[in-house]
């Protein structure tokens, strides 16, 4: 006589998901998802003439600026976008978007360690049309002692992490980190 067949714990058949069910989300213990949609945002990256001159001809003394190749700058900007959006949602008073003809926000400084030193890139965001934004790069340098203007925000990227600092009255203060 052989072994008796055992009852399997494996689910048999089709799993039915109740779309009308109330489940917990970040804001409620009883919520029902109505929509899950990804919005598209169109960005354009522009390089100011000052940046192009520094990239092509070096600084005022004729010294070459290494590590500021356009593809490196473009990559840093794209890498920083999720960090910038995160800080704009969670940090009171942090605003990065300039409105043409309206009140402007200070330019942002993006920083990242590279083989050529600390890459510093000064950018500004401008709203142009529905879901369309321009990012202008004003200057870039690989130096450890980059001079930041009063009121500017600095985002230092380190892999998936970042630190948001604010430079005010000659003092750096860490605002948040991700």
Per-residue pLDDT reduced to its tens digit, 120-162: 999 999 988 888 999 999 999 999 999 999 989 999 999 999 9
The pTM for the full model equals 0.81
- Residues sharing a CB contact under 8 Å with residue 112, sequence separation 6 or more, in sequence order: 76, 118, 119, 156, 157, 158
Per-residue pLDDT reduced to its tens digit, 63-122: 788 999 999 999 999 999 999 999 999 999 898 888 766 666 779 999 999 999 999 999
Contact between residue 159 and residue 143 where contact means Cβ atoms under 8 Å apart: no
Residue 159's alpha-carbon distances to 55, 90, 115, in angstroms, are 25, 20, 15
Residue 95 burial (C-beta neighbours within 10 Å; 0-12, 13-18, 19+): middle
Helix-strand-coil split of the chain, %, nearest 5:
15, 35, 50
């Amino acid at each position: 006589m052989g072994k008796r067949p055992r009852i399997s714990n494996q689910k048999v058949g089709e799993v039915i998901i109740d779309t009308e069910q109330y489940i917990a989300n970040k804001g409620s213990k009883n919520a029902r998802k109505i929509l899950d949609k990804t919005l598209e945002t169109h960005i354009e990256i522009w390089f100011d003439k000052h940046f192009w001159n520094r990239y092509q001809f070096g600084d005022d003394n004729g010294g070459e600026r290494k590590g500021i190749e356009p593809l490196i700058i473009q990559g840093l900007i794209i890498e920083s976008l999720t960090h910038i959006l995160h800080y704009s949602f969670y940090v009171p008073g942090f605003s990065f978007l300039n409105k043409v003809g309206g009140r402007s926000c200070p330019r942002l400084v993006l920083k990242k360690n590279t083989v050529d030193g600390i890459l510093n890139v000064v950018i500004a965001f401008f709203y142009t049309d529905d879901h369309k934004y321009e990012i202008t790069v004003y200057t870039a340098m690989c130096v450890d002692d980059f001079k930041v203007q009063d009121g500017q925000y600095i985002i230092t990227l380190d892999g998936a992490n970042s630190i948001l600092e604010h430079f005010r009255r000659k003092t750096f203060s860490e605002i948040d980190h991700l």
